[in-house]
């Protein structure tokens, strides 16, 4: 049993506690008591002093496998040959296309990733995990179409929702993909660890054939499984929907896919999925950068949940929704993603949220909820994590305060002093205390 005394606790349960202590046993919060009532053995008590405790943060969309692609330099001959081939193929496929368009940017990312060997990819993944946890993240929604990361994910010391990303360019491939992925999912569910949860990510309306949307949306409803998708995030995607073709076709060609044709081109992106009976409260959509106000309202009315990706949207999509708009259409139904493809990435969800909230639309108590309890509800993990509450897992961060500072000064902080997952200290003074 351990007891953690602190000046402040932001519970994400509509309470700010002062001079209270968390009592943790077997990875659970078993009590919250006044500091002056603590009478445990000295070795069981950690006096954090002038500090603020928050629930652990939740990153709703990560792709840790891409962490090192900008800094990676191929060393062996095989990787160098791959790089040369991919560079030529990229230039040939996208001849005449501006390099700042969405499809070219993603093709460039994939070309760099393809050059990496298995060990490089695993290291890239591990580096991303460690950086995120050092920034106070205790739960992630990890997206990958590569099953080789399952063992690594299963050993992560934090909660994770593994969303398997799926593409399909025809009805026949959709049926085949569905059978193969369904079998793999059911096997993985049998072998997953206690921190791991399984979901589906259908890449986008332009990257998935109508048939696969129908098959997996029905499967997810039947098995109460969360479905995630990138949505209306680029001009390329909306031009494809409007005209039946765009630069997105070149990206699919580069990925080895045949051309995908929309089942209807006289329709907006929201209705495209609504007519397939996809949209529901069990669906998470990311970005929606290019929707009109009317379309955002329709998306909001469908009760879907939302992932706000400011870094990714600016870097890859060339546009992001402003924070005021996100709050207007998805109040208490969205969380943040720190995903970025810059060589120097910042995984701090707290800093990301504070920067988004530069106009002080939310106070610090409410802002922290968008990093904790709200995304926990989106992932349907709020019975385990997302707030400081008796009976929940002891997933929490400790931020040290300067003399005279209060919990409101949390907005001036970056990474926590220490991070706990299920009561286990996994970060101290920024240093990782676990191995993958």
Provide DSSP, 238-285. HHHHHHS--THHHHHHHTTPPPP--S-SSS-HHHHHHTTT--STTEEE
Q: Kindly indicate the confidence band of residue 287, based on its pLDDT and cuts at 50, 70 and 90.
A: very high
Tell me: do 353 and 391 sit in the same domain. no
Tell me: do 138 and 231 sit in the same domain. yes
CB 204 within 8 A of CB 231: yes
Q: Kindly indicate the confidence band of residue 349, based on its pLDDT and cuts at 50, 70 and 90.
A: very high
Tell me: do 264 and 399 sit in the same domain. no
pLDDT digits (tens, 9 = 90+) for 387-422: 999 999 999 999 999 999 999 999 999 999 999 999
CB neighbours of residue 228 within 10 Å: 27
> In sequence order, what DSSP letters do the residues of 371-436 get, joined into one string?
TTHHHHHHTT-TTTSSS--TTSB--EEEEE--TT--GGGGGG--S-SEEEETTEEEEETTEE----
pLDDT digits (tens, 9 = 90+) for 229-260: 999 999 999 999 999 999 999 999 999 999 99
Domain containing 340 equals: 58-378
- Within 8 A by CB and 6+ apart from 300, the residues are 329, 330
CB 217 within 8 A of CB 174: no
pLDDT the model gives residue 81: 79
Q: Residue 367: which CATH number?
A: 3.20.20.140
pLDDT digits (tens, 9 = 90+) for 185-201: 888 888 898 999 999 99
CB neighbours of residue 311 within 10 Å: 19
Tell me: do 182 and 278 sit in the same domain. yes
Q: What is the mean pLDDT of residues 92-104?
A: 95
CB neighbours of residue 76 within 10 Å: 9
Tell me: do 299 and 404 sit in the same domain. no
Mean pLDDT of the chain: 95
Q: Kindly indicate the confidence band of residue 80, based on its pLDDT and cuts at 50, 70 and 90.
A: confident
Tell me: do 134 and 23 sit in the same domain. no
Tell me: do 332 and 391 sit in the same domain. no
Tell me: do 37 and 98 sit in the same domain. no
CB 19 within 8 A of CB 7: yes
Kindly tell me the sign of the dihedral angle through the C-alpha atoms of 259, 265, 269, 273.
negative
Q: In terms of C-beta distances under 8 Å and separation of at least 24 residues, what long-range contacts does 145-154 make, across chains too?
A: 146/65, 146/121, 147/184, 147/188, 148/118, 148/121, 148/122, 149/65, 149/122, 149/125, 150/188, 152/122, 152/125, 152/126, 152/436, 153/196, 154/191, 154/192, 154/193, 154/195, 154/196
Tokens read off for 410: 């949390």
Tell me: do 141 and 283 sit in the same domain. yes
| pLDDT above 80 (res 148) | no
Q: What is the mean pLDDT of residues 331-338?
A: 98
Judge if pTM exceeds 0.85.
yes
Q: Residue 409: which CATH number?
A: 2.30.40.10
Tell me: do 294 and 428 sit in the same domain. no
| Domains: count for the chain | 2
pLDDT the model gives residue 73: 84
Tell me: do 293 and 417 sit in the same domain. no
Tell me: do 218 and 169 sit in the same domain. yes
pLDDT the model gives residue 126: 94
pLDDT the model gives residue 357: 98
């Amino acid at each position: 049993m351990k007891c953690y005394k602190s000046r402040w606790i932001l519970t994400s349960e509509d309470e700010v506690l002062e001079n209270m202590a968390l009592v943790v046993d077997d990875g659970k919060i078993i009590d919250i008591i006044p500091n002056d009532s603590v009478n445990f053995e000295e070795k069981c008590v950690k006096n954090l002093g002038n500090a603020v405790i928050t629930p652990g943060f939740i990153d709703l969309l990560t792709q840790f496998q891409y962490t090192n692609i900008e800094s990676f330099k191929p060393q062996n001959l095989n990787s160098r040959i791959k790089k040369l081939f991919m560079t030529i193929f990229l230039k040939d496929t996208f001849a005449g296309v501006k390099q700042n368009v969405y499809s070219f940017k993603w093709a460039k990312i994939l070309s760099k990733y393809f050059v990496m060997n298995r060990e490089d990819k695993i290291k890239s993944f591990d580096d991303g995990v460690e950086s995120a946890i050092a920034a106070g993240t205790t739960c992630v929604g990890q997206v990958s179409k590569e099953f080789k990361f399952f063992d690594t994910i299963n050993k992560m010391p934090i909660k994770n929702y593994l969303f398997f990303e799926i593409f399909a360019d025809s009805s026949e491939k959709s049926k085949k993909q569905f059978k193969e992925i369904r079998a793999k999912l059911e096997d993985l569910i049998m072998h997953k660890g206690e921190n791991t949860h399984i979901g589906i990510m259908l890449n986008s309306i332009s990257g998935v054939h109508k048939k696969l949307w129908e098959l997996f949306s029905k499967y997810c409803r039947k098995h109460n499984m969360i479905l995630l998708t990138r949505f209306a995030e680029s001009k390329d995607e909306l031009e494809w929907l409007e005209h039946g073709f765009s630069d997105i076709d070149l990206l699919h060609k580069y990925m080895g896919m045949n051309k995908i044709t929309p089942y209807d081109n006289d329709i907006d992106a929201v209705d495209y999925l609504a007519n397939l009976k996809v949209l529901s409260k069990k669906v998470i959509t990311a970005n929606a950068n290019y929707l009109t106000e009317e379309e955002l309202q329709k998306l909001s009315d469908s009760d879907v949940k939302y992932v706000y990706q400011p870094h990714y949207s600016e870097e890859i999509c060339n546009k992001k929704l402003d924070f005021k708009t996100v709050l207007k259409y998805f109040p208490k139904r969205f969380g943040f993603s720190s995903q970025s493809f810059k060589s120097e990435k910042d995984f701090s969800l707290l800093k990301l949220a504070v920067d988004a909230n530069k106009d002080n639309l939310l106070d610090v108590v409410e802002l922290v909820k968008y990093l904790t309890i709200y995304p926990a509800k989106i992932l349907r993990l709020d019975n385990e994590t997302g707030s400081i509450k008796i009976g929940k897992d002891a997933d929490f961060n400790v931020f040290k305060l300067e003399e005279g500072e209060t919990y409101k000064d949390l907005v001036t902080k970056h990474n926590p002093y220490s991070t706990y997952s299920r009561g286990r200290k996994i970060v101290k003074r920024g240093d990782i205390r676990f191995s993958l």
